Amino acid sequence: MSSLRIFSVNHKKMSSLHINNIYCSKLRASLKRLKPHVLLGRNYSSLPGLIGNDIKSLHSIISPPIAKIRNIGIMAHIDAGKTTTTERILYYSGYTRSLGDVDDGDTVTDFMAQERERGITIQSAAVTFDWKGYRVNLIDTPGHVDFTLEVERCLRVLDGAVAVFDASAGVEAQTLTVWRQADKHKIPRICFLNKMDKTGASFNYAVESIREKLKAKPLLLQLPIGEAKTFKGVVDVVSKEKLLWNSSSVDGKDFERKPLLEMSDPKLLKETTEARNALIEQVADLDDEFADLVLGEFSENFDLIPAEKLQTAIHRVTLAQTAVPVLCGSALKNKGVQPLLDAITMYLPSPEERNYEFLERISRLLLPFADQHVEIPSLTAGNIALTVGLKHTATGDTIVSSKSSALAAARRAGREGEKKHGQNSEAERLLLAGVEIPEPVFFCTIEPPSVAKQPDLDHALKCLQREDPSLKVRLDPDSGQTVLCGMGELHIEIIHDRIKREYGLETYLGPLQVAYRETILNSVCASDTLDRTLGDKRHLVTIELEAKPIETSSVTPVIEYAEGVSEDILKASQEAIENGIHSACLQGPLLGSPIQDVAITLHSLIIHPGTSSTMISACVSRCVQKALKKADKQVLEPLMNLEVTVTRDYLSPVLADLAQRRGNIQEIQTRQDNRVVIGFVPLAEIMGYSTVLRTLTSGSATFAVELSHYEAMNPQDQSTLLNRRSGLT
C-alpha cells in the first residue's frame, strides 16, 4: 500500500491503460491513515454525491455521464494565487465548510509539512467535487521552477487547465514555462486574472501581456468593476450582467447578478456592449459555424445573438486552442470564483472531446480528495482515480491486462492508422508519450548517520526517485559517496527534509555544487590495445578512434563507424562498443563532469575470438578517455534565465550586484511602478541569491530563474574554477 498511482481513462474501448504516478508521494501518507477520513483542524462538507445524510444513486456518484466530467489543472507562476483559488473553489462547491488560507497553513491541497511551512505547492494534489451537476477532478500544481516536472506529469492526464495570473504582474517567468508545457500537450485552457484587488492591479496590462508574451488571443468574457482597492465585482460580457459581491459577506457566497440598464449604468453598459461586439467579431473570425450564424440571422444587430449560441462557439474555439477565454477576480477576497467554476464546466472539454483512448482493468480503486480518499467498486471512462500496489511501475508506463491484449490493441491501432492516413492514428494514441525529465543542475553528497543506516538511506532514495524522476542519485566512483542531483536548492532541501520526516533518517548533506559539463575544441585520434589472459582464455582488443567536437548540442555522444569496420564485428559487439563510449563520456578529464557535444568515430577494431564484451567495453572506454585527455578541453557552465522584479528605488543596487555575478542584462521592462530586469546569469553565481536580494531591496523584490543553456566559460573563469577544485586557491 506504499505505492499509489493515478490514471486517466477515456470513452473508447481499448485493451490498454495508462497509469500516471503524479500524486503517489502526496497520497501515500494518506494511505497510512485509511480509517480517519477527516483532516485535523479543517471542516469538510459531504463528499460528491452526498447531500446531508442522503445519498444520490450510486451510479451517479461513481459514474457520472462522461459529458459531465471535467479533468482540469490549476497552473501558474509561484505566488499567483493557485492554491488560494483552489481553496475557494472547494469551499463554494461544498467540499469544505471553512476557508483555508496559505498563510495559515491549513489548505486542503497543500498538506505536506514542507508546503505548509513554506506557503508553496511542492507536489500536485488531486481533489474531486461536484458543481451544478458536473463532476470536476481538479489538480493543484506547483509554480516553483524546481518542481516543473510535477506540472509536466499532471498535464499529460488532464483535459483542460486554468492558468492563474497575478493581475498586477501579468505573464511572469514560470507562467511562460507552464504555458509552453500546456502547448506541448495541446491542453485547452482558460485564464483567470487573480488579485484584482491588489495595489497596481491592471486588467488591461495583464491582458496585453497574455497577447504579447504568450502569443495567445484573449477572449474577454468579463470586465472588472474597479481595480485595486476599488475592485468590487465583474461584468459578464456574454450576458451583459454585472456581478456584485456583498461587502458585508465574510465568505463571498452572497453576490447579486443584475442586468446592465441604460438608466442605472450607462457608461458600464456602453463599455460592455463594445466589448461584447468585439468578442463576437473575434469568435466569428475563429469559428466558421458561428460566423455563418452571425452573418445570416444577426448581421444587423449583434445584441440579438443569444448568449447560449455565443457560449457554444467559445467552447469550440477553446477546444481548438485558437483563443483563450479570460476572466478576472480576487480569490483571497472571495470575488469571481463562482463564475470561474461556471466557465470551467462551460468552456473546458469533457474527456470524450479529447483524443486519448484507454480502458481500465484494476482491482482496487479510490477517488482522490487531496490527502483523503474513498474506495469505490468501479469506474467508467473519463474519470481520474487512484490505485494501490503496482510496485514496479513508474511515470509514463502504460499498463495492460495481458501481453496478448496489448498486441491485439497495437494491431487494431495499426489498421485504424492506415485508414486514417495523414491524421493522428490510433497507434500514435495507444501509448502516452513519456514525460521529458530535465537534467539536474545542482548536486551534493548525502551521508547517513552511520554505515548501518546506509541500506535505509538507499531504500528512501529509491522510493523518492520513483515518485520524483527529476531527482537523480549516483555513486561517486572515487569516494564511494552517494550523490544527490536535483533541479535547485529548494528541490534538494525538500528531499533532505522528506528523508527526515517520512523515513526517520537524520542525513548529512555536503556543500551544494553546480553540475558543470565538459567538451573538446579540436579533433584528436587515439589507439589502444587491451591484452589480458584470464584462466586459459585470452582477451585481445585493438582499437583506433577519433573524437571531434560537433556544432549541434547533444548531451550524449554521437557514435559513427568508418567504412573499414567489419560489419560482422559490429553485429556481434556494437552494444559493448557503445556502452564503452557512453561510460567514458560520463566523466570528463577536467572536472569529472559529463562530456557533451562530441562525436566519436570508430576507424578500426580488431577483436580476438572469445574476447568478452566486458573487455571490449573496457578497451573502448579507455581509448575514448585517452582521446579526450589529448584534446583541448573546455568547461561548460549552466546559464540561467533570470527575471528580477524590483521597485525603481532599488534598481541600481540590483544591477550593480548582478554585474558582480557575471550577469548579462538583456532588457529592463516597466511593469506598473516596478522594473523587471531580464537577463542571463551563471548558476554558480546565484546560490543564496534570494537572501542577498532581500537585503538589497528591504524584502521588496522578487526573482525567478530557469535553466537556459550551457555556455563555455571564459579562460580566466575556467582557470579559477579548476584551481579552486584542485585546492590551489
Between the alpha carbon of residue 160 and those of residues 21, 136, 348, the distances in Å are 19, 11, 6
User: CA Rg, the chain, in Å?
Assistant: 29
Distance of CA 563 to the CA centre of its chain: 44
Do 100 and 371 meet the contact criterion of CB atoms below 8 Å apart?
no
The residue among 151 and 13 whose pLDDT is bigger is: 151
Does the annotation list 528 as a binding residue?
no
18 labeled part of a ligand binding site:
no
Identity of the highest mean pLDDT range in 4-8, 70-74, 245-249: 70-74
Split at pLDDT 50, 70, 90, the class of 28 is very low
- 3-class secondary structure, 178: helix
Tell me the pLDDT of the chain averaged across its residues: 79
* Residue 294 half-sphere exposure toward CB, CA atoms < 13 A: 20
Higher pLDDT, 297 or 325: 325
Q: pLDDT at position 484, please?
A: 86
Residue 378 or 331, more confident: 331
Q: Could you tell me the three cell numbers for 587?
A: 566523466
Strand pairing category for 218-220 and 134-140: unpaired
Question: Has 699 been labeled as part of a binding site?
Answer: no
Which of 59-63, 88-92, 325-329, 391-395 is the most confident on average?
A: 325-329
Mean pLDDT of 393-397: 64
Long-range contacts of 199-202 (CB under 8 A, 24+ apart): 199/168, 199/228, 199/229, 200/168, 200/228, 200/672, 200/673, 200/674, 201/167, 201/168, 201/227, 201/228, 201/231, 202/167, 202/168, 202/227, 202/672
CATH number for the segment(s) 63-259+323-347:
3.40.50.300
Alpha carbon of 146 to those of 118, 133, 597: distances in Å?
Answer: 14, 37, 26
* Cα 425 to Cα 433: distance, rounded to the nearest angstrom: 14
Q: Decide if 52 contacts 46 (C-beta within 8 A).
A: yes
**pLDDT at residue 594 above 80?**
yes
Q: Find out whether 142 is annotated in a ligand binding site.
A: yes
Task: Determine which of 12-16, 511-515, 555-559, 690-694 has the lowest per-residue pLDDT on average.
Answer: 12-16
Written as nine digits, the cell of 476 is 561517486
Q: In what helix (H) or strand (E) does residue 652 lie, and over which residues does it extend?
A: helix 651-660
Other Cβ atoms closer than 10 A to 476: 12
Provide CB contacts within 8 A for 23, sequence distance 6+.
Answer: 4, 6, 123, 124, 125, 126, 139, 368, 386
If one compares 158 and 111, the residue with the highest pLDDT of the two is: 158
What sign results for the dihedral spanned by CA atoms 692, 696, 697, 701?
A: negative
- Spatial distance between the Cα atoms of 335 and 464, rounded to a whole number of angstroms: 39
CA separation for the pair 663, 665 (Å, rounded): 6
pLDDT at 706: 79
Q: Shortest CA distance to 14 belongs to which of 400, 451, 456?
A: 400
Task: Report CA torsion sign: 665, 669, 674, 680.
Answer: negative
pLDDT digits over 466-523, tens only? Answer: 878 788 888 876 667 888 888 777 788 888 888 998 889 999 988 878 889 999 999 9
CATH code linked to domain 637-726: 3.30.70.240
Helices then strands, counting H and E runs in the chain, come out as 20, 33
77 carries a ligand binding annotation:
yes
Residue 144 labeled ligand binder? yes
The answer to whether 449 is a known ligand-binding residue is no
Cβ-based burial of 298 (10 A; exposed 0-12, middle 13-18, buried ≥19): middle
The answer to whether domain 518-631 has CATH 3.30.70.20 is no
Q: Where are the domains of the chain?
A: 63-259+323-347, 442-515, 518-631, 637-726
DSSP H or E segment with residue 383: none
> CA 498, CA 115: separation in Å to the nearest integer?
11
CATH code for the structural domain at 442-515: 3.30.70.870
393 marked ligand binding residue: no
Asked if 644 contacts 701 with a C-beta cutoff of 8 angstroms, the reply is yes
What's CA 645's distance to the chain center, in Å?
23
Query: Which of the four pLDDT bands, split at 50, 70 and 90, describes residue 15?
Result: very low
Closest CA to 377 of 366, 390, 369: 366
From CA 692, how far away is CA 342, in angstroms rounded? 44
Q: Residue 649 region, left (φ>0) first, then alpha (ψ -120 to 50), else beta?
A: alpha
Report whether 626 contacts 559 (CB < 8 A): no
Q: Is residue 395 marked as binding?
A: no
- Point out which residues pair with 170 in neighbouring strands: 166
Grid cell at residue 283 = 469568435
In the chain, what percentage of residues exceed pLDDT 70? 75
User: In this structure, are residues 596 and 636 in contact, taking their beta carbons and an 8 Å threshold?
Assistant: yes
Taking a C-beta distance cutoff of 8 angstroms, is the pair 444, 511 a contact? yes
Q: How far apart are CA 51 and CA 95, in angstroms?
A: 11
Helices within 214-306 (DSSP H only): 266-286, 288-296
The answer to whether 270 is a known ligand-binding residue is no
Q: What angle do CA 187, 191, 193 make, to 5 degrees?
A: 155
pLDDT value of residue 379:
65
The predicted structure's pLDDT at residue 250: 80
What is the distance between the alpha carbons of residues 713 and 639, in angstroms, rounded to a whole number? Answer: 10
In this chain, the answer to whether the domains covering 518-631 and 637-726 adopt an identical fold is no
pLDDT tens, residue by residue, 439-476: 777 778 899 888 889 989 999 998 888 878 788 888 87
Q: How confident is the model at residue 548 (pLDDT cuts 50, 70, 90)?
A: very high
Q: How many CB atoms lie within 10 A of CB 533?
A: 9
Which of 573, 519, 571, 566 has the alpha carbon at shortest distance from 547?
519
Q: Is a pLDDT exceeding 50 seen at residue 681?
A: yes
Handedness of CA 337, 342, 347, 349 (dihedral sign): positive
CA 503 to CA 464: how far, in whole Å?
Answer: 11
Per-residue pLDDT at 207 exceeds 90: yes
Binding residue per annotation — 715?
A: no
Strand, coil or helix: what is 696?
Answer: helix
Q: Provide the residue count of the chain.
A: 729
Amino acid at 535: G
Grid cell 501481453 — which residue? 403
Q: What share of the chain is helix, strand, coil (3-state, %, to 5)?
A: 35, 30, 35
Q: How confident is the model at residue 129 (pLDDT cuts 50, 70, 90)?
A: confident
Cell triple for 15: 485493451
CA distances 430 to 120, 313, 359, 409, Å, are 36, 30, 11, 8
Task: State yes or no: 1 annotated in a binding site.
Answer: no
On whether 197 is known to bind a ligand per the annotation, the reply is yes
Q: 686-708: per-residue pLDDT in tens?
A: 888 878 888 899 888 888 877 88
Residue 708 has which C-alpha cell?
537556459
pLDDT at 35: 33
Given the DSSP bridges, would you call strands 398-399 and 442-447 parallel, antiparallel or unpaired?
unpaired
pLDDT value of position 360: 75
> What pLDDT band is residue 41 in, cutting at 50, 70 and 90?
very low
Look at residue 55 in the predicted model and tell me its pLDDT: 37
Query: pTM for this one?
Result: 0.59
Q: How confident is the model at residue 414 (pLDDT cuts 50, 70, 90)?
A: low
Average pLDDT rounded to a whole number, residues 242-252: 85
Cell digits of residue 578: 557503445
Report the pLDDT value the prediction gives residue 362, as an integer from 0 to 100: 53
